Structure 1
Amino acid sequence: MSRLKHCGRATNRYAGLSKLLAAFGILLTAAPLTVTAQTADTPAYVGSAACTDCHRRQADDWQKSHHAMAWTQPNSDTILGDFDETQFLHRGITTRFGREDGQYVVHTDGPDGSMQRYPVAGVAGLAPLQQYILETEAGRLQSLDVVWDVEEKRWYHLYPDQDLPAGDGLHWTGPYKTWNARCAECHATNYDKNFDPKTASYASTQTEIGVGCESCHGPGQAHRDWALANGDYDPDRWAGLSGSGFSMDFNTGAEAEIQQCAGCHSRREAFEDGTPLPGTPFHDAYRLSPLREGLYHPDGQILDEVYVYGSFLQSKMYSKGVACTDCHNPHSGERLAKGNAICTQCHSAAGNPRFPSLPLTQYDDPAHHFHPEDSSGAQCKNCHMIERTYMGVDGRRDHSFRVPRPDLSVETTAPNACTDCHDDRTAAWASQTVAAWYPDSRHRGPHFSQVFAPARDNPAAQAEGLLGIAEHSGLPGIVRASALDLLAPVSTPAIAARGVPLLSDPDPMVRTAAVPLQRAAPTEAAGHLLPLLQDPMRSVRIAAAREFLGLRIAQMPESATRALGQAMTEWQRSLQNKADLPETQLVMGGIGLTTRNMAAALSAFGEAVEMDPQLVQAWTMIARIQDALGDRQAAVETLNRAIAANPEDIALLLMRADLLP
């Protein structure tokens, strides 16, 4: 398979997608779905400017917030970087920042490696860094890797230790840095990606750039009519709106609020083409990443850039009903109090009547934290919210609010807050010290990380422990789902049988994670999974639909066939919405293999390596398919191209050696 040029690439992508969808056959003719995207029966978006006259205090708080400044137009008020003909050198590439003809411009290496001139098309962020968005072709926006350190007033590279030349999937012009696909949804209001697979181009739209009022509250047309009381508001016209005319009702409690914030503050897979209608349940719009290796430490502490939701779900604060706005002003984004005062509004001798289970005791005291007053060690956040730095300078706090467990560090190698600060001491020292401070602590009991840590290397050996965690209703749902995620690759008929009750668990993340266990019992799987095709949450329905693709079913009742068709259609739409992502092409290639549509599989895997030549697993799948189809010469040629893009990959070199005569 030769490397495709631009036009051929677009055509090839569309053909592959069509073949994959055709592989589902009659399922494509299923009944239409009810969707949450904006329709004629949804109020229109009116823009944040329409809100300010009536909501002046909130608007003033929001105006200079990180939400408002998440994406702005380039001008002298928004650009903080030094564009006075400054230069930055990284691995032989000199990037130059200047102003020409009234525009802010960047001269840097383009997708083919040649130096090109790009006007700045957008500005991302306010502090502690600012990133600049460049348009590499009509409608396609890319985020530059050379960014401005606002505090130190310097240019720096986000990946200083990596060599990412043009043509690498991780180059700033590559698919992982495409603003339209990776970033814009959470930096804009009412965003639609609008990727066209026929032309491999974007025609993205939004009501406004930046996170405006309607990003959280929902479209404002009905609320505006309700507030003006001019006779235009008809509550019967709109379905499912709050009493004041919004799709998102913040009066329904902490859970709804948290899920609304989580849409952007989480590591997740999106199902829709852009911003879900505010008020859409999280698990109906996204699939949350579990506590996987590379993302989280074995005890659930943050490792990679996972944002907040996955951490907060692990916390006792979440289980007790604490909401984001108990600590943060939702309009300014600032904390409601400074220092330890943000914590002592509840964790004190006075307590908080909203949370009656809190022990009434003094926490902001050396008798509790064993550090000098006003020292770093006396700050609640430094012990209970470890900080990790992302994007070079952006420190972010773990929101699991965990009690430090240096004793677990000894056993699992997960970090702990004690040796974060006392980096010249060992975890064993920290464990002994904490045990001396709290000899009778109830926080040193069994922990799921004692199973997760060894299970990451050998899940089969930890199957019983993982099942016990998954079945423990007192543990956070994300922990239980993560146990199932570890079990899925090694499931057996016995594990599948034991996992059946979890398919009806109250937590949608547990239900979703329980689905793949049933692969080990294909004869019984269809009967167990059929009810999930009509689950209230799309994440569960799609998970069930994926499993049916590999099942061989002679006949199903008409109602089950209809439900399966609808769920399959939802899955197909979610894939179409992400057809510009290499990882989606890998999934579609897998679908081609499952449905024995080898042309579609080759097309999808070929598209994946066209987007990202470093996807070795896609190259190897292409070569294996070609060899299995009897075309060994094509397989060797594929491996030659793969090795040219990945010259140091041993697996590719060995595979080619095996195929050569």
Structure 2
Amino acid sequence: MSFIKMRSFSKLFSFSLLFSVLLSCGDDKKAEYEKVPQKNPNAIFASTAQIADANFLGDDACKQCHQAEFKDWEGSHHDKAMQLAKRETILADFDGEKFNSQGITSKFYSKGDDFFVNTEGPDGNYHDYKIIYTFGITPLQQYIVEFPDGRFQCLRTAWDTEKNKWFDLYPDFKVVHSEWLHWSRGGLNWNTMCSDCHSTNVRKNYKEETNGYNTEFALINVSCEACHGPGKEHADKATKLGENYKASGSMQMIPGTQPKKLVDQCARCHMRREQISELFNFEGTMLDHYFPQLITERLYHLDGQILDEDYVYGSFVQSKMYLNDVTCTDCHNAHSLELKFEGNQLCAQCHVPEQYDTPKHHFHEVVSEGGQCINCHMTGRFYMGNDFRRDHSFRIPRPDLSLKYGTPNACTQCHDDKDDEWAWQTFQEQYGVPDYQHFSELLASGLSGDPHGKESLLTLMNDTLQPEIARASAVRGLQYYMNENDVANLITFLNDSSPVVRASTLDVLGEINSTDYTTYLFPLLKDPKRSVRVKAFYALGGLTENQVPADYKEVYQKVKTEFLTYLEATAEFAGGKAKEANYHLKKGDVANAIDNYEKALKIDNLNNMVRTSLANLYYRNGKLNEAETAFKLIIKQEPEYGPTYYSLALLLAETGRNNEAIIQLEKAMTHMPENLRVYYNLGLLYDSVNETKKAKEAIIKGLKVYPSNEELLYTLAFFHSKYGEIDRAREIGLQLVQLFPNNTNYSNFLRQLPALD
């Protein structure tokens, strides 16, 4: 589970935001699981039908014929993913022990056969809560309590099953009881954050009108049928036909499943993702139900290495292993989840030990930590306090990229007494300068905003040999550089063979307030992947139904239903309500947009991305008091974020409160000194209140950042002219004529200046 978001608003909005594998692990490097879009107007969409619980027979039924597999699975993380709370399932003491963290003291105790915690609740007061379920077994176990309206909440305090002690999952993260991230609220809500992957055949059943749940499941844990699908049909046929039974293809994840298809099936629960469908029913593919989180700042390092909780899939699909048809079960026992081999023997399945498991390759003692393949090629991080997870992108350390972009590398993570300069020098001595270009170089360049970032992203987008997730992330990153001339280039990616790239292209085009490109979007309503269709519908949101061409009207209505279901599936998230608000804005329905933004803030009152959108919407629609209140609250919560000071200043200036506006612009200049408009508007405001010296000083400060900026130079020349400083005005006027000879306004300006004495 991942519940921690970056609280820093400035980080949320800022955009500072391998050697190739020598041995091929598969012969068909161009093997594709996902195919190009279907153009057939009668393309069959995966259904959204719910599977009745009666079709799931339970693990004992599977055990009768699959005893070896059951033995491996029994006691595994999947088996123990969720259990009813009782003495034999609870690993913590619950013997009256107390635990204090962030000023909150929790007491854990038992009473008869029941287990309780006394801790701070959503009202800020202490209450007793009964433990209903356990979650996981190692390296930690969490505990779940029941709240009104069908809500189940996961405690923030967990039990370290290796050290046998209580600990805070996020010890350095202070959360107030009224915040979304408090354990009693949305961030640690089991129904929406956990249930889909910890139990079998889950239906969340959220009711927005009551803000409650009636969540149901067929089986409490990750059972055999959670992965393989409902077993009734399979069992009935096997019982009836006996030795004559032959597989009918009704089961999932069976021997012979294509490697990439198997990865997608595992990915359902092993990736950070956006929910697309209301429920998972084993129909279609992963992209009919979920869309993976792309490589973005906050969640990944700029080069794609794991940062926040990314759940393996997002890193694994970056790897050459994945591209060469290595799949999850090549390394992991599908049922016990344990590694198939110990140490370097695991990698030696494909990589010749004589070439790689030697000091000539890794420059460490054979039996040392540095001699283990995974410590150089699968670095990791601790999540949830004590859970160490490895990066599955299988990359070669690149200390040169660490020097350029501040990304981590395995060398200095292990040799923590050394720096990246040392690591890069040592790397060159041992391996030479890399003669290849890994996608991470292009991605880091683009996402960091360096001078060649746009070219880097375009190169990556167009290289179809690179991982889909990297190309899709490059497309998404292009939005920070894009101008009108780039739209035509972007449109070509709507026909890309990768559905992930098509979807990310729609995400970018969907934020452009124009109907000029709708002709190119309509075909995506017939895409074979529901996630792509839903994104296409949103991108077309600015149209009325009367503007839909006749040959798309039927499919438009079908996808409209899918889109509205998607909004329902994400309705308890602030981001989901914000998406709905944006859709209403596309429709020109300002009242509904405001309503949904306000609902989003009721869910998460600290979501200043949403509050900024709402404040700007208030502002544009004349609700100036509401806008001012919203801007001031953002400033209170995120005092380091400069753009809010700027927006508030414009509002104050519009209402004639120029002196107050000046104060806000001065603060904006402190927090975002690179913003040209701050200096320009500050100069004009000082001029409006007859602070002539300060008006010129503001423009001069801007020119120190942008020495040849046309607008600032002209404004300064105008001020000098207005204040009677004709010589200085003429000097700058001549400079403007030289710099911008095609703009006749500057020569006219010079002619209008009083003649020299």
TM-score (norm 2): 0.76
RMSD: 2.9
Match of 1:593 in 2: 585
Q: Does 1:97 align with 2:108?
A: yes
Specify the SS of the correspondent of 2:355.
Answer: coil
Select which of 293, 296, 299 maps to 1:295: 299
Q: Displacement of 1:278 after TM fit?
A: 3.1
Matches within 5 A, 1:123-138: 123-138=134-149
Match of 1:358 in 2: none
* Residue pair 2:238, 2:245 contacting (<8 A) in 1 also: no
Structure 1's unaligned 5+ residue stretches are 1-30, 236-241, 350-360
Taking the aligned partners of 1:553 and 1:570, their CA distance within structure 2 comes to 16
Select which of 358, 361, 376 maps to 1:383: 376
Q: Displacement of 1:584 after TM fit?
A: 0.5
Residues 32 and 631 from structure 1, CA distance in 2 versus in 1: closer, same or farther, beyond 3 angstroms? farther
- Decide which moves more: 516-525 or 313-322: 516-525
Q: Displacement of 1:654 after TM fit?
A: 7.4
Select which of 107, 122, 142 maps to 2:133: 122
Residues 333 and 234 from structure 1, CA distance in 2 versus in 1: closer, same or farther, beyond 3 angstroms? closer
* Residue pair 1:139, 1:203 contacting (<8 A) in 2 also: yes
Matches within 5 A, 1:91-490: 91-229=102-240, 243=248, 245-246=250-251, 249-274=254-279, 276-278=280-282, 280-348=284-352, 361-439=354-432, 443-458=434-449, 462-490=453-481
User: Which AA in structure 2 matches 1:601?
Assistant: A
Taking the aligned partners of 1:386 and 1:513, their CA distance within structure 2 comes to 28
Q: Displacement of 1:459 after TM fit?
A: 7.6
Q: Displacement of 1:112 after TM fit?
A: 0.4
Q: Does 1:503 align with 2:486?
A: no
* Residue pair 1:32, 1:566 contacting (<8 A) in 2 also: no
Specify the SS of the correspondent of 2:500.
Answer: helix
Matches within 5 A, 1:10-25: none
- Decide which moves more: 260-269 or 633-642: 633-642
Q: Displacement of 1:156 after TM fit?
A: 1.2
Q: Displacement of 1:251 after TM fit?
A: 2.4
User: Which AA in structure 1 matches 2:604?
Assistant: D
Q: Displacement of 1:620 after TM fit?
A: 3.7
Q: Displacement of 1:158 after TM fit?
A: 1.4
Select which of 557, 564, 570 maps to 1:578: 570
User: Which AA in structure 2 matches 1:420?
Assistant: Q
- Deviation string 1:535-555 (CA, Å, 9 cap, x unpaired) is 111121112111111357974
Taking the aligned partners of 1:306 and 1:613, their CA distance within structure 2 comes to 25
Matches within 5 A, 1:44-123: 44-123=55-134
* Residue pair 1:405, 1:444 contacting (<8 A) in 2 also: no
Taking the aligned partners of 1:409 and 1:460, their CA distance within structure 2 comes to 18
* Residue pair 1:459, 1:490 contacting (<8 A) in 2 also: no
Match of 2:534 in 1: 542
* Residue pair 2:85, 2:132 contacting (<8 A) in 1 also: yes
Taking the aligned partners of 2:265 and 2:612, their CA distance within structure 1 comes to 40
Residues 406 and 549 from structure 1, CA distance in 2 versus in 1: closer, same or farther, beyond 3 angstroms? same
User: Which AA in structure 2 matches 1:512?
Assistant: A
Residues 299 and 547 from structure 1, CA distance in 2 versus in 1: closer, same or farther, beyond 3 angstroms? same
Taking the aligned partners of 1:517 and 1:289, their CA distance within structure 2 comes to 15
User: Which AA in structure 2 matches 1:560?
Assistant: Y
Specify the SS of the correspondent of 1:456.
Answer: helix
- Decide which moves more: 183-192 or 294-303: 294-303
Structure with the greater alpha carbon radius of gyration: 2
Taking the aligned partners of 1:544 and 1:138, their CA distance within structure 2 comes to 35
User: Which AA in structure 2 matches 1:307?
Assistant: Y
* Residue pair 1:215, 1:278 contacting (<8 A) in 2 also: no
Taking the aligned partners of 2:225 and 2:343, their CA distance within structure 1 comes to 31
Residues 621 and 464 from structure 1, CA distance in 2 versus in 1: closer, same or farther, beyond 3 angstroms? closer
Residues 523 and 627 from structure 1, CA distance in 2 versus in 1: closer, same or farther, beyond 3 angstroms? closer
Q: Displacement of 1:496 after TM fit?
A: 2.0
Taking the aligned partners of 1:43 and 1:74, their CA distance within structure 2 comes to 25
Taking the aligned partners of 1:156 and 1:256, their CA distance within structure 2 comes to 38
Taking the aligned partners of 1:117 and 1:131, their CA distance within structure 2 comes to 17
Q: Displacement of 1:346 after TM fit?
A: 1.7
Residues 410 and 131 from structure 1, CA distance in 2 versus in 1: closer, same or farther, beyond 3 angstroms? same
User: Which AA in structure 2 matches 1:157?
Assistant: D
Residues 413 and 496 from structure 1, CA distance in 2 versus in 1: closer, same or farther, beyond 3 angstroms? same
* Residue pair 2:43, 2:528 contacting (<8 A) in 1 also: no
Match of 2:506 in 1: 515
- Decide which moves more: 565-574 or 313-322: 565-574
- Deviation string 1:326-347 (CA, Å, 9 cap, x unpaired) is 1100100000111111111221
Specify the SS of the correspondent of 1:68.
Answer: coil
Taking the aligned partners of 1:342 and 1:207, their CA distance within structure 2 comes to 36
Q: Displacement of 1:464 after TM fit?
A: 2.4
* Residue pair 2:78, 2:223 contacting (<8 A) in 1 also: yes
Residues 154 and 517 from structure 1, CA distance in 2 versus in 1: closer, same or farther, beyond 3 angstroms? closer
- Decide which moves more: 89-98 or 384-393: 89-98
Aligned length: 611
Residues 647 and 427 from structure 1, CA distance in 2 versus in 1: closer, same or farther, beyond 3 angstroms? closer
- Deviation string 1:507-544 (CA, Å, 9 cap, x unpaired) is 11111122245466946522212211101111211121
Q: Displacement of 1:39 after TM fit?
A: 4.6
TM-score (norm 1): 0.86
Taking the aligned partners of 1:446 and 1:579, their CA distance within structure 2 comes to 42
Taking the aligned partners of 2:249 and 2:644, their CA distance within structure 1 comes to 60
Residues 641 and 291 from structure 1, CA distance in 2 versus in 1: closer, same or farther, beyond 3 angstroms? closer
Structure 2's unaligned 5+ residue stretches are 1-41, 658-757
- Decide which moves more: 610-619 or 261-270: 610-619
User: Which AA in structure 2 matches 1:398?
Assistant: D
Taking the aligned partners of 1:630 and 1:119, their CA distance within structure 2 comes to 50
- Decide which moves more: 154-163 or 199-208: 154-163
Q: Displacement of 1:447 after TM fit?
A: 3.2
- Deviation string 1:362-381 (CA, Å, 9 cap, x unpaired) is 32111221101210000111
Residues 459 and 529 from structure 1, CA distance in 2 versus in 1: closer, same or farther, beyond 3 angstroms? farther
Match of 1:561 in 2: 553
* Residue pair 2:524, 2:533 contacting (<8 A) in 1 also: yes
Taking the aligned partners of 2:156 and 2:411, their CA distance within structure 1 comes to 34
